[in-house]
Amino acid sequence: MREAFLPTTAADCLARGWDAPDFVFVSGDAYVDHPSFGAALLGRVLEKAGYRVAMLAQPDWRGPDGMCRFGRPRLGFLVSSGVIDSMVNHYTAAKKPRSQDAYAPGGRAGLRPDRAVIVYCNLIRRAFGDVPILIGGVEASLRRFSHYDYWDDRVRRSILADSGADLLLYGMGERTLPAAAKWLEKGAPADALPGLRGVCWMAKQAPADAVICPDHRACASDKAAYASAFMLQYAEQDPVRGKPLAQRQGEGRWLLQNPPDMPPTRAELDAAHALPFARAWHPDYDAAGGVPALEEVKFSLAATRGCFGGCSFCAITFHQGRIVTSRSPASLLQEARLLTHLPDFKGYIHDVGGPTANFRRPACADQLKRGACAHRQCLYPKPCPRLEVDHREFLRLLRDLRGLPGIKKVFVRSGLRYDYIQADPDGTFFRELCEHHISGQLKVAPEHVCPRVLSVMGKPGRDVYDAFVTRYEQLNRALGRPQYLVPYLMSGHPGSDLAAAVELALYLRDTGHQPEQVQDFYPTPGTLSTCMFHTGLDPRTMRPVYVPRTAHEKALQRALLQYRRPANHALAREALRLAGREDLIGFGRGCLVPPVGAAERKTDQKKAAPESVARHAKTSGSPSAPARDHGSRRATAGKASPRAKGKPGGKRR
């Protein structure tokens, strides 16, 4: 069984006749040999290119000995924190430690350190000195420039400077990593570095053709400089028109970034997913019950890369890019046939998707010729006239998949852009989606309804979502299917004040939706929204944007979104008073929460939010009367409407 995996011990290497591996791949995740796990995918890509790769998964990080399992590799170490940034993996949006890690054996927390890339690299240096180290993955990719760190609440240097690594590979890496491996084989000549796309390195000076970002010192002390630097980086994140970037990280130390690599071709994606994966966790984890994260993807098909949706709170633009690539239908059908032969396959393909399931091609033909537009979004505020909306290939693929022997159902659970569906004049895809590919609930992400919040998020207006809901309900009635819509909602996002939270609460009241979960905004590296959170500026316009910062104000906004819960009544009452909406406290029709009883009144009235919250709430243009026409025709007393059912889950789009 072990021979189906890449080596994980020195004995495994000896069994293959290796005196030493070419690369040791250090990962903060457990080793799952499946194409949805970056370390496994890149390890197999290097293996296909002729390199000897050993996997050092979740090593002991208490000392340098944990890095010595294979001795010194011939070419170098590859380091990643895993599929998720280690700080996001460890802490909630409230900065509370998580009790489980889905990417560890048995879901056990604590098997990787905070800031795993930095810790692993420092241990490697202590153990082996000047051995080449290449870092990559989400944590390295999104922290490659000076970046705001939510957990430290300060701007940190580039992770390349703090880790002491030789090269940072950003993006997905299937083409970049083999190119970097060849560069190392040639002796890592410095004059060859400018030709390596998708990499960053440290140098003593900036090249003449580089776009110069405000330096680290300015970014750390001046929020306007930080916003300006971020927007420069964001604008050049394009493989066609992007220019080299440079940012001073200290005296005589420059971070240099080459333009991103071109997205993989369809043939390249197909070839990577056809590599000989074991499609299982390593047998060493059997005793612990395996690795929980595999269950989410084991019977799913990863069909696409990239996203042109442009949501402000999403880091995909900074990591995978805005130019979409998809696998061929033939490749996906072949993988589906393979799934039907796995011993525990029950006939259900859980998902066919990616960052956005219904994006399978570039937004327009111009993207591959001129790049994605630097200062224009494809879908926001309205779909671009050049946007090519086409679901036909995806529809044919789904039909072919559900027709394969051994397959009972094919679901689409990745995020679907409802505004893209609405922009399609052909309704066939939407109808067949409802008829064949929803497991009772369709999850979509309007996120909010307040126009000023949606504009900051880069999301379409509420009218687009309402029109989608109407079509969805009509289709399901025609099909005779009691299927429900589960809207993702986000509280505490930049731009959202108490008045905006009240507006969203009124929408929930009038539509009958009772969200069981609400996502608090999480300021993770590499997003426009995180830049806004730190600076209080929208970097696209440099105009001020309101930011809810305190835990108490965030709790007030979240309570309004779940005002029906008795445990939230006190906070919801406080929020309504601060927003000047005491008319919504009572027992009358349209009220959100009941008044306090006599015994509670004294305590309740003593509660007060920070002065800044109250001041902003009273000056933010809150409507003076409750809105009563927000879709109330779709909800009936005592009965959940199709848009008001279910538990949130899956991916946000």
| Same domain assignment for residues 421 and 314 | yes
| Residue 590 and residue 611 share a domain | yes
Is residue 630 predicted with pLDDT exceeding 50?
no
Q: Is the pLDDT of residue 622 over 60?
A: no
Q: What is the CATH number of the domain that holds 596?
A: 3.30.750.200
Let me know: does 479 contact 435? Beta carbons within 8 Å. yes
Q: Who contacts 428 (Cβ-Cβ below 8 Å, separation ≥6)?
A: 391, 395
Q: Is residue 236 part of a domain?
A: no
Sign of CA pseudo-dihedral 342, 347, 348, 353: positive
Triad 331, 329, 368: Cα angle to 5°: 100
Q: What is the pLDDT of residues 240-279, one digit of tens each?
A: 999 999 999 998 899 999 999 999 999 999 999 999 999 9
**What angle is formed at CA 261 by the lines to CA 42 and CA 333, rounded to 5 degrees?**
55
Residue 323 tokens read as 């130019």
Q: Give CA–CA dist 224/214, Å, rounded.
A: 10
Stretch (H or E) spanning 398: helix 392-402
What's the full length of the chain, in residues? 653
| Beta strands at 280-281 and 519-520: parallel, antiparallel or unpaired | unpaired
pLDDT at residue 498, as a whole number: 97
Q: Do residues 194 and 164 both lie within one domain?
A: yes
Position 282 confidence tier, pLDDT thresholds 50, 70, 90: very high
Tell me the CA end-to-end span of the chain in Å, nearest whole number: 39
Same domain, 360 and 371: yes
pLDDT tens digits, one per residue of 420-473 = 999 999 999 999 999 999 989 999 999 999 999 999 999 999 999 999 999 999
- Are 199 and 169 a contacting pair, CB within 8 Å? yes
Q: How many CA atoms lie within 13 A of 372 on its CB side?
A: 29
* 633 against 203, higher pLDDT: 203
How does the average pLDDT of the chain come out, rounded? 92
Instruction: Determine the Cα–Cα distance for residues 130 and 72; give it in Å rounded to an integer.
Output: 11
Asked if residue 547 is part of any domain, the answer here is yes
Residue 536 lies in a domain: yes
In a domain, 250, yes or no: no
* pLDDT interval class at 651 (50, 70, 90): very low
pLDDT score, position 47: 98
Q: Which of 147, 175, 199 is the last residue of a domain?
A: 199
pLDDT tens, position by position, 204-250:
999 999 999 999 999 999 999 999 999 999 999 999 999 999 999 99
User: What 3-state class would DSSP assign to 314?
Assistant: coil
Is 183 found in the same domain as 170?
A: yes
CA distance 398 to 414: 14
Q: How many domains does the chain have?
A: 3
Mean pLDDT of 279-306: 97
Please indicate, yes or no, whether residues 157 and 21 belong to a single structural domain of this protein.
Answer: yes
Of the residues 180, 199, 218, which one is the last residue of a structural domain?
199
What is the bridge-based pairing of β-strands 154-156 and 133-136? unpaired
Question: Do both 421 and 444 map to the same domain?
Answer: no
170 lies in some domain: yes
% of the chain beyond a pLDDT of 90: 88
Domain annotation covers residue 354:
yes
Average pLDDT over residues 319-338: 97
Q: Mark whether 449 and 582 lie in a shared domain.
A: yes
Range of the domain at 376: 299-439
Residue 517: pLDDT band by 50, 70, 90 thresholds?
confident
Cα–Cα nearest to 149, from 570, 565, 646, 530? 530
- How deeply is 108 buried, as exposed, middle or buried, from its count of CB atoms within 10 A (0-12, 13-18, 19+)? middle
Classify residue 543 as exposed, middle or buried by CB count within 10 Å of its CB (0-12, 13-18, 19+). exposed
Other CB atoms within 10 Å distance of the CB of residue 464: 19
**Domain endpoint, select from 439, 473, 496:** 439
Tell which wins on pLDDT, 7 or 606: 7
- Going from the C-alpha of 27 to that of each of 5, 67, 103, 158, the distances in angstroms are 15, 11, 11, 20
Task: Judge if 460 and 421 occupy the same domain.
Answer: no
Domain containing residue 424: CATH number: 3.30.750.210
Do 431 and 512 lie in one domain? The reply is no
Same domain for 496 and 351: no
Question: Sorting pLDDT into bands at 50, 70 and 90, what band is 646?
Answer: very low
- What residue spans of 437-536 are helical by DSSP H? 451-457, 462-479, 498-511, 528-535
| Token code pair at residue 72 | 């010194």
CATH label of the domain that carries residue 13: 3.40.50.2300
Assess contact for 20 and 70: CB atoms under 8 A. yes
For residue range 449-463, list pLDDT tens digits in order. 999 999 999 999 999
At CB < 8 A and 24+ separation, what contacts does 9-17 make? 9/69, 10/69, 10/70, 10/71, 12/54, 13/52, 13/54, 13/70, 16/52
Query: In this predicted model, what pLDDT tens digit does every residue of 563-574 receive, in sequence order?
Result: 999 999 999 999
Does 466 share its domain with 387? Answer: no
Alpha-carbon separation of residue 518 from 311, 559, 638, 641 (angstroms) = 18, 10, 22, 19
pTM for this structure?
0.91
- Whether the CB-CB separation of 503 and 185 falls below 8 Å is answered with no
Tell me the per-residue pLDDT of 354-413, one tens digit each, with 9 for 90 and over.
Answer: 999 999 999 999 999 999 998 889 999 999 999 999 999 999 999 999 999 999 999 999
Minimal CA–CA distance to 280: which of 30, 533, 626?
30
Q: Read off the pLDDT band of 612 (50, 70, 90).
A: low
Check residue 611 and give its pLDDT.
52
The string of DSSP letters for 115-148 reads THHHHHHHHHHHHHSS--EEEEHHHHHHTSSSEE
Question: What digits encode the pLDDT tens for the residues 148-167?
Answer: 999 999 999 999 999 999 99
**Closest CA relative to residue 165, chosen from 149, 147, 180, 150:** 180
Residue 27 domain-assigned?
A: yes
Residue in this structure with the two tokens 């000023």, named with its chain if needed: 452
Does residue 312 belong to any structural domain of this protein? yes
Q: What confidence category does residue 617 fall into, taking pLDDT thresholds of 50, 70 and 90?
A: low
Amino acid code (one letter) for 363:
A
Longest Cα pair distance anywhere in the chain, in angstroms? 80
